[in-house]
Amino acid sequence: MGTVIVNPAVIDQRPHRSISWTPPTNQGLKLNVDAAVNIDLKILGCGALVRDCCGNVIAAISKSVEGCFRSDEMEAKSLFHSLNWALQLQLPITHIETDALRVSTALNSASTNLSSFNDLISDIRYLLSFFSGVTISHVRRDANHAAHGLAKYALEVDEDVC
C-alpha cells in the first residue's frame, strides 16, 4: 500500500451552516443562559441575556460564583442565578435556551434522583414556577454566543454586572 498525502484544507469541504439566535415565536421574552469556568481560580462565570421578539436586548447579566462544579452543575447553577435575577427584575420570561443538553432534558423530564445535580434541578423548577407557561429548550452553542460571552466576561469582574 502506498502513502496518501492529503491537503488538510480539502479534508472537510462540506458547507458549514451558520446557526444564529432565533426570536421567540410569540410576543414574550427569551432568556439565553450559559456558563464558563476558570479552573485555576475556581470561579464559575454565569452569563444571561433577555431579548424580545424583535431581538432587542432587554437586560443582561454577568455574575461570578466561587466554587468547583461539574459541567452540568455549572450550567444548572448559571440557570439558577439567571432565573433569580430575572425574577427580581420581574421580567415575563416565556422561553429559556441553554446549550446544556443534560440541564434542558432534566428540566423537561419528570424523573428525579438523589444527587446534587437533581437538587439544583429542583431549585430551578421552583423558580420556573413563577414564570407562567415558560418553555425550556436546548440550543446549539453556535446560537448561544452572546450568553457565553457574558459568562466569560463574568470571570474577569469582581462583582455582578447588569
Domains and CATH numbers, the chain: 29-155 (3.30.420.10)
Q: Cell numbers of 8, please?
A: 488538510
pLDDT at residue number 158 = 77
pTM for the model: 0.83
- φ, ψ (nearest 5 deg) of residue 54: -95, 0
CA 117, CA 109: separation in Å to the nearest integer? 14
- Which of 6-15, 56-65, 80-89, 107-116 has the least mean pLDDT? 6-15
When computed from its CA atoms, the radius of gyration of the chain, rounded to whole angstroms, is 18
What DSSP letter does each residue of 134-157 carry, written as one string? -EEEE--GGG-HHHHHHHHHHTT-
How would residue 94 be classed by pLDDT, with cut points 50, 70 and 90? very high
pLDDT above 80 (res 72): yes
CA angle 30, 33, 36 (to 5 degrees): 165
What residue has cell string 454566543? 145
Asked whether residue 83 carries a pLDDT value surpassing 50, the answer given is: yes
Distances (CA, A) of 76 to 55, 120, 121: 24, 6, 7
